[in-house]
Amino acid sequence: MSTATSVQIAESRVDARFAELKAQGRAGLVTFITAGDPDAETTYQILRALPEAGADLIEIGMPFSDPMADGPAIQASSQRALKNGISLAKTLEIVHRFRAEDSTTPVILMGYYNPIYHMGVEKFLRLARDAGVDGLIIVDLPPEEDRELCLPAIDAGLHWIRLATPTTDDKRLPKVLENTSGFLYYVSILGITGTRAAAAEEVGAAIERIKRHSDLPVAVGFGIRTPEHAAAIGKVADAAVVGSAIVERIAEALDENGKAGTGLVDSVTELIRDLRTGLDR
């Protein structure tokens, strides 16, 4: 079966990180947090703590009022962020601040097209590139809409990271892989984020099929909550993506007014260290 040709992005932190992980013989840990949850400063403090705690790549959610693919935990985090005045511009400012301290950890923005459309594609891509963003995952733009944002993003030097699901069959997969670079995000279950988990055996079989079409690294997400599950996924995938469990840990550390408690950052980093330990077993 033919292998899709990968899009090449110059001086890619994503490619460099996956090459490093492969050389070390270990699976990557991709962590997700929502920008501005519960506030911009706390997001920044979490961001700067994630790499040392064990995160290899960081996904940052762009808050949106109607996150249709996300489960209750991530929906709630988006609402908290919007309530506290976060915007796409402020999200990019947080990334820019983080990048001034960390020049190697890949940062991927994940979300929906609407906020980008309202900012303007050209302006967004310029600000994202200047801030040090490495790639985009935009869940509501299928390959048929690549002219909207995908192709301009690639021209701007950003990875376009696509989602594949258990229903992405061999006929559809080549189209999904078209213009995809950095890695492929395999959604291991059908439905919304954070609801249940897929068995490692099922995921392994899906990844084998994907690898017959592409040499891209495959990161697996949706439903990974424990070090044990991360370890199982890490044995069959190039990386494990954890989002809802982290966002829930943030929510648990908020005070009665929805503000960051004193131990919030430490609580999140403890979870990341546990996940990293699980992956390294």
Of 15, 37, 56, 59, the active-site residue reads 59
Residue 69 DSSP SS3: coil
CB atoms within 10 A of CB 120: 11
- Owner of token pair 């995938």: 237
- Owner of token pair 């699901």: 165
Of 15, 37, 56, 70, the active-site residue reads 70
- Owner of token pair 């390959």: 143
The region that residue 166 occupies, defined by phi over 0 for left and psi between -120 and 50 for alpha, beta otherwise, is alpha
Examine the residue annotation and report whether 274 is marked as an active-site residue of this protein: no
Tell me the residue length of the chain.
281
Examine the residue annotation and report whether 11 is marked as an active-site residue of this protein: no
- Among 5, 45, 63, 18, smallest CA distance to 182 is for 18
Q: What pairs with residue 210 in β-bridges?
A: none
CB atoms within 10 A of CB 194: 24
* Radius of gyration of the chain from its Cα atoms, rounded to whole angstroms: 17
CA separation for the pair 118, 182 (Å, rounded) = 26
CA separation for the pair 160, 184 (Å, rounded) = 9
Say if residues 2 and 173 touch (Cβ distance below 8 Å).
Answer: no
> DSSP letter at 145?
G
**HSE-up (13 A, CA, CB side) for residue 43:** 30
Catalytic residues: 59, 70
